[in-house]
Amino acid sequence: MIRLLSAAVLAASLGACAPTQTTYGPAGPGDRAVGYDSIRIEDDRWRVSFTAGPDAGPAALERYALRRAAELTLEAGYDWFEIVGRDMTRSGYRDSPVGVGGSVGGTIGSGGYRSSGVGIGINLSPGQERRETLTLEIIAGSGEDRPELAYDARQVLAGMGGAPAY
C-alpha cells in the first residue's frame, strides 16, 4: 500500500513538472509564462515580445513575434510595420524541469564478502527550465510609400495561415 501511494505521489510530482508547451496566446502571469506581451510606446510604435519554452526553436519564436506584430498593426488600422529594434534573451538552462540520474556500484572484500548498491536521483527544479524571449520594436504605417524592409501585415498573417479579419 505504501509503495502504491509513493508511486502515485511521484507520478503526480513528475507530471506537475512537465516541460512547458509553447502555444500562441497572451503570456500568463509569473516568470514561467510563455506567450506574447506588448506595449504601445507611441501611436504608431510598439514593443512586442514573445517568450517560448524549450520546445520551440528560434524559427517558431520569430514566427510568433512577427504574427503578433502584424495583428497589432492591423488592429490599429495600419497596413505595414518595420522592425527598428530587436533583442533576444535567454533564461534558464534546462530543456526539462526534471532530471534523473543513477549509479551502480559493487565491492568485493578480502574475506570474500560482496556488496553492491544502486542509487537513483531525481532533480526537480522548475525554475531552471529554458526560456527564450524575442523582443521587437516596431513602427507601423499605411499606404504604398513604405520602407524597403517593412512587412505587409496582411501578407504576414496570410503566410502563417491566419486570415486577417481587419
**What does 128-154 look like in DSSP terms, one character per residue?**
GB-EEEEEEEEEEE-SS---TT-EEHH
Residue 16: predicted pLDDT: 46
The span from the CA of 50 to the CA of 157, in Å, is 16
- State the pLDDT at residue 104: 66
Cell readout for 43 is: 501611436
Reading the block at residue 104, the C-alpha cell is 551502480
Contact 130, 93 (CB under 8 A): yes
Domain chopping of the chain, boundaries: 23-92+130-166, 94-129
Find how far residue 27's CA is from the centre of its chain.
10
Note the pLDDT tens digit of each residue in 21-73.
Answer: 888 899 988 766 899 999 999 999 999 999 998 888 889 999 999 999 999 99
